[in-house]
Structure 1
Amino acid sequence: MYPAERQAAIIAAAHEDDGALSVTALSRDLGVTAETIRRDLAVLERQGAIVRTHGGARLTPGMPFELSLAKRQAAEADEKRRIAVRAVEEIPTDGVLLLDSGSLALVTASVFPDLSIIVVTNNLPAIPVLAERANISVMALPGRVRPISQGAVDEWTRHRLSTLNVDLVLLGANGLTADAVTTTIPDEAEVKRAMLLSAKRRVLTITASKIGISSFCHVADTDELDMIITDDRIRSEMRDSLHAAGPDIIVV
């Protein structure tokens, strides 16, 4: 088992056990030494996913549990498809689009029209989907792949993004309030922030179940967005609050 796979298994184990982790139990269950587990925990702590404790670790306080990409793909499928279909209407002709990682972005890739555009993405599962379109040029961002989202998120990713100037970003998030766009770990927040800063237009695609939630790490103020596309489960008062912050609100 590679380190990234082992670290994903550690986070999965925490989700199954109320956020608590034991070095001894992980060593036994994963068939590696306690020292190997401690190194994995150190990596996950630097990513902001866990906090070390005596004899183990626990999930970072206030950070919502994240499901695997496969499980998120199955959840809210109808809402995600409606959001995705509306989102592709914003794609510029003969332009450059930046596509975020995550399950909603992957659904969006699946409904892309075959336009003559460049798509830059850190979303590894979306790359072969987009590459099937003859007229789309796909550029993959470099970097360490986060197993749970299958997106590239590290300093290599951020550095490449800092050199880009794109027409539109389709961004995802784990939480949205009238004040802020948020996500779960610092590395991912920094990559999303770099995406936002590289784009002329900034569109957030998000299911209504994540609206009103504040996740662990700040990505952007809500008034930095040009548009939010969500589904019709959004509460009317939250829609009004988001609109008052500045972005256009599209409900599908």
Structure 2
Amino acid sequence: MNTNKKACMRRDAIRDMLQKQEVVTLQEFCQVLHASVATIRSDLTVLEKQGGLRRVRGGAVSTEGTPRNTVYASRVHLNEREKEQIARQAAELLQEDMTVVLDAGTTCARLAQEILNRGLRCTVITASWTAAEILSRSSDVTLQVTGGRLDREHNRLTGGFPAGLQADLYFLSPDGIAGDQATGSDPEESARKAATARACGQVVCLADPSKINRRGVLEICQPDVLVTCEGIRWLGRRQVENQN
């Protein structure tokens, strides 16, 4: 088989891996495709120029229709029923007069709608343009929208959360979660999420089926609570201690 044909087959396999896993590390590409790091890096450079993926530190993320890395509008209708179920379960963790942070993910937007529907009295801090619009309709919610530039593709405000941020709960929307570790792919966004997690009392990870057992190349934190379609699972020591 000639070299060009082998390269094309390998690059097709890279696209397939990214479609299934969203975020893939260099080591995983090398192991599955039996290729060297130098060869995979060369392939990723070619595919990135073609617009098929975006390289990140330690690996790559797909730009060809994966739930997390496409524009917000294309993710809204993915796993809709599951996201609504997760939002309903997550809302059970809320108490009156709490201060909570909502990420800019589509599941967090559904949680915002659940807060509105239930008439919960709370303070919400968010970078989500959609969540802010939903919660602006509630007279029971004290709404704080973070500053920064509007990223229209992902429907969020970029930049850090307010200095001295404190909140009871942080509803985190990661790129993936595996082994109780929430991970991301974008360095700036992952760093912001990690800093927010450190500032909040408890971290609640919302994960629809597309994110389960998928590991991004950047670690964010170990959540205290994981909410999936299967229910609420307590993970962190802070949560266990608070239950005693």
Partner SS, residue 125 of structure 1: helix
State whether residues 224 and 236 of structure 2, in contact with CA within 8 Å, keep that contact through their aligned partners in structure 1: no
| Corresponding residue of 2:128 | 123
2:75 maps to amino acid: R
1:176-219 Cα deviation digits (max 9, x unpaired): 11152111201110111122111111111111221111123221
1:12-31 Cα deviation digits (max 9, x unpaired): xxxxxx6xxxxxxxxxxxxx
State whether residues 101 and 151 of structure 1, in contact with CA within 8 Å, keep that contact through their aligned partners in structure 2: yes
State whether residues 177 and 212 of structure 1, in contact with CA within 8 Å, keep that contact through their aligned partners in structure 2: yes
State whether residues 179 and 245 of structure 1, in contact with CA within 8 Å, keep that contact through their aligned partners in structure 2: no
- Kindly state the Cα deviation for residue 246 of structure 1 after the two structures are TM-superposed: 6.1
Gaps of 5+ in 1: 1-17, 19-50
Q: Where do residues 7-86 of structure 1 align in structure 2 (5 Å cutoff)?
A: 56=49, 59-60=54-55, 61-64=59-62, 65=66, 66-86=69-89
Task: Please report the TM-score for the alignment, with normalisation by the length of structure 2.
Answer: 0.67
Residue 187 and residue 231 in structure 1: after superposition, are their counterparts in 2 closer, same or farther (change >3 A)? same
1:149 maps to amino acid: H
> Partners of 2:130 and 2:104 in 1: how far apart?
9
1:82 maps to amino acid: Q
> Partners of 2:107 and 2:113 in 1: how far apart?
10
> Partners of 1:180 and 1:115 in 2: how far apart?
30
2:226 pairs, out of 206, 225, 228, with 228
Partner SS, residue 111 of structure 1: helix
1:93-116 Cα deviation digits (max 9, x unpaired): 112111111111111111112222
> Partners of 1:105 and 1:245 in 2: how far apart?
21
State whether residues 226 and 235 of structure 2, in contact with CA within 8 Å, keep that contact through their aligned partners in structure 1: no
1:197 maps to amino acid: R
| Corresponding residue of 1:97 | 100
Percent identical across equivalent pairs?
20
> Partners of 1:145 and 1:247 in 2: how far apart?
34
| Corresponding residue of 2:150 | 145
Residue 243 and residue 198 in structure 1: after superposition, are their counterparts in 2 closer, same or farther (change >3 A)? closer
Segments of 4+ moved more than 4 angstroms: 55-58, 242-248
Gaps of 5+ in 2: 1-14, 16-43, 240-244
State whether residues 178 and 245 of structure 1, in contact with CA within 8 Å, keep that contact through their aligned partners in structure 2: no
Please tell me the root mean square deviation across aligned C-alpha atoms, in Å.
2.9
1:114-167 Cα deviation digits (max 9, x unpaired): 22211000111111101111110110011233333222232xx24x2x411111
2:113 pairs, out of 100, 110, 115, with 110
